[in-house]
Structure 1
Amino acid sequence: MQLDKAQIVSFYAETEFKDAKNFPYGFKRSGEFTQQQAELLLHHGLAYHALHTGERSPVTAEESRFLEFCHGLRDTETSHERTWQRYLALCNKRAHRPAVSLSSAARESAQHSQDADWDNL
């Protein structure tokens, strides 16, 4: 079945986009995105990702412009581009978190205080 131009929709994806690694409770509940951004990611995130990684070729002029944005050839202009830019920035920020968590630091601090108590005996 061939679609005519009127039936082609930019950023179409058959399934919802979810990123359980970076946003385990979803985009809306993360507190990092506006409601509109969360909706755009949910419904179009797979298309954004496929275009960004080259798994998909653009089918509309809007998708071609999005791809130019992904390659750094132009600045963000649309809500799709701003949303994807925010998503990538947050994923990169999360990837560069320090390896030490508060719980391990607290355990280490508790261990040092126990060692000091034994030394004082």
Structure 2
Amino acid sequence: MKITVKRATWFLGGFHTRTMEIPGESGTLTYDQPLDRTDRIEVKDGDLILVKETVLSKIVNIVFITSMLFFIFSNSLNIYTESYPYPPDFLRVSGIGVTIIFVVIIVISFFFNSYKFVKENNSSKE
């Protein structure tokens, strides 16, 4: 008996497909995360299961990429530009704000699931 699991976890997690053997006609597929954040789904022979990111995980990814771009561009603006159009404290204050938002969202994300199972079809035999 086989099931197919597809990982569709955006660009930081990637896309991957794997076919797995299950020992019986049905069973429970479990995804374990630290701090006892697990997701379970009942599967049957021939099921196609998607592992998707939750909305919170997508927000964390966007904040992470935005933060990294902010720090890269703010440092390059400070280095290569002598007459920056904003007040000198603007980058420092906005950098502190971005860092605080980044840390708060990362800490919140530790207490919620990052991924979830979604059954794409019900027992579509190959």
State the TM-score, normalized to the length of structure 2: 0.29
Determine which structure has the larger helix proportion and give its number.
1
- Indicate the structure whose relative CO is greater, using CA pairs within 8 Å and at least 6 residues apart: 2
State the TM-score, normalized to the length of structure 1: 0.30
